[in-house]
Amino acid sequence: MFDQGLTVLRIRGIPIRLHITLLIFLPYIAYLAASQFSVIAMSLGLPREAMRLPPLAWGAILAVGLFVAVLAHELAHSFVALKNGVKVRSITLMMLGGVSWFERDDPEHEAWMAFAGPLMSFGIALASYVAFRLVPAPTELGAALLAFAITNAILGVFNLLPAFPMDGGRVLRGLLLRRVGRARATRIATATGKVMAVIFGLLGLLSWNFILVLIAVFVYMGASAEQARSSTRDMIRGIPIARFMTDRLGVAYADESPRAVAERLLRDNLVGARVMDDPHDGEDRREIGVVTVWDLARQLERGVAPVTVGAVMPVDVPRARASDDASRSIEALASGEASAVAVLDEGEHVIGIVTPAEIQRALALAGALGGLRAGR
């Protein structure tokens, strides 16, 4: 859905990325934080004349602090994931907060993984509140600490609302999992998410709260996408991935130009090519991977295509055995992380690929014919 953004640092190997929308949004958050700061300073009996910094400066400090707090919130999710053996691809900070990208779902630990973030926000809120109490007389710093405590507490509470894909919705799904199974748990959580999205949307429109309307759209789209992914997963569960495979593959040499390979695939009506490495003296060329028409098209559209197919070829193509359950490969394809899954035979040779288009084609036919298992 979003571009990944610019990597600014790595924490325990996790790339932390800043999304462009964050930079656009930060001044707005600073403005909101400044007005919140003014209200709190006034309630503490702090006259404007006594302040060293204008409220807008405090707003900017609080806005940056808030995004650091959001990063801590996301890191809490990520550390629980790492502890359960789930790799974290990256954390992206964007306008509506942070998103952690995990390598795979972990239904077993989802509730705890989702709860860790809000728990961190509450922890930050509590620490700021304690620091506020320790500041002797009402000062600007005290007002800022109190504002920070309140914002983080709100962040924690808001994230715990059962609005899938927000944290609370994930906690709900994780808790339901054992009682009703994954498919029903997802159905309940995403349906609740959609209801919450409508409520957010109405409240946002009534109160002219632009952020709340955006969150409503984000929640609604996220819940719909997860529901679609989940029903696809259900439909193809237990079916060997080879049933969705296409073997319309050509051959490409790693040192060929992407354009030449693309032209050949188009002419021969193929969906991809096995890539063979450069010949070493005397040795035969070895198969080093696969490249799909989608990989080639994406690179050629960018204009500055690398000179060789070897450089275009994705390095981390997910692999599956022909007999593997197709539902296990759906995550990588549905998230857009991979353009194809390579299907291997017993001798680790690529015998075909599965792309989202192949699965959609099979599902469309199965829908018309009344079920995948009945087909064929």
Residues in the site for Zn ion, rule: CB under 5 A? 117, 167
Cβ proximity to Zn ion: between 5 and 117 the closer is: 117
Rounded to a whole number of angstroms, the minimum distance from the CB of residue 117 to Zn ion is 3
* Both structure tokens of 240: 């060997």
Cβ proximity to Zn ion: between 117 and 193 the closer is: 117
Rounded to a whole number of angstroms, the minimum distance from the CB of residue 87 to Zn ion is 18
Cβ contact 87:102 at 8 Å: yes
Instruction: Identify the residue whose tokens are 């909101």.
Output: 32
Rounded to a whole number of angstroms, the minimum distance from the CB of residue 159 to Zn ion is 5
Cβ proximity to Zn ion: between 167 and 256 the closer is: 167
Query: Going by DSSP bridges, is the β-strand pair 97-102/14-18 parallel, antiparallel, or unpaired?
Result: unpaired
Rounded to a whole number of angstroms, the minimum distance from the CB of residue 220 to Zn ion is 18
E-assigned strand segments in the chain: 6-11, 14-18, 88-94, 97-102, 249-253, 272-276, 287-292, 319-321, 341-344, 350-354
Burial class of residue 315 (count of CB atoms within 10 Å of its CB; 0-12, 13-18, 19+): exposed
Kindly report the backbone phi and psi dihedral angles of residue 350, in degrees, each rounded to the nearest multiple of 5, phi listed first: -75, 120
Residue 146's closest CA among 44, 52, 30, 69?
Answer: 44
* Both structure tokens of 197: 């999205």
The angle, 0 to 180 degrees and rounded to 10, between the axes of the packed helices 20-43 and 140-159 is 120
Cβ proximity to Zn ion: between 166 and 271 the closer is: 166
Cβ proximity to Zn ion: between 65 and 117 the closer is: 117
Cβ proximity to Zn ion: between 84 and 323 the closer is: 84
Rounded to a whole number of angstroms, the minimum distance from the CB of residue 331 to Zn ion is 20
Cβ proximity to Zn ion: between 152 and 292 the closer is: 152
The residue of the chain with the least Cβ separation from Zn ion equals 117
- The 10 Å Cβ neighbour count of residue 64 is 14
Peptide bond into 165 cis (omega under 30): yes
* Both structure tokens of 270: 């193929």
Q: How far is CA 343 from CA 125, 355, 357, in A?
A: 49, 11, 15
Give the list of residues 6+ apart from residue 51 with CB closer than 8 angstroms, or none.
Answer: 41, 140
Burial class of residue 348 (count of CB atoms within 10 Å of its CB; 0-12, 13-18, 19+): exposed
Cβ proximity to Zn ion: between 37 and 67 the closer is: 67
Rounded to a whole number of angstroms, the minimum distance from the CB of residue 265 to Zn ion is 42
Rounded to a whole number of angstroms, the minimum distance from the CB of residue 186 to Zn ion is 18
As a whole number of angstroms, the distance between CA 375 and CA 278 comes to 42
Cβ proximity to Zn ion: between 91 and 350 the closer is: 91
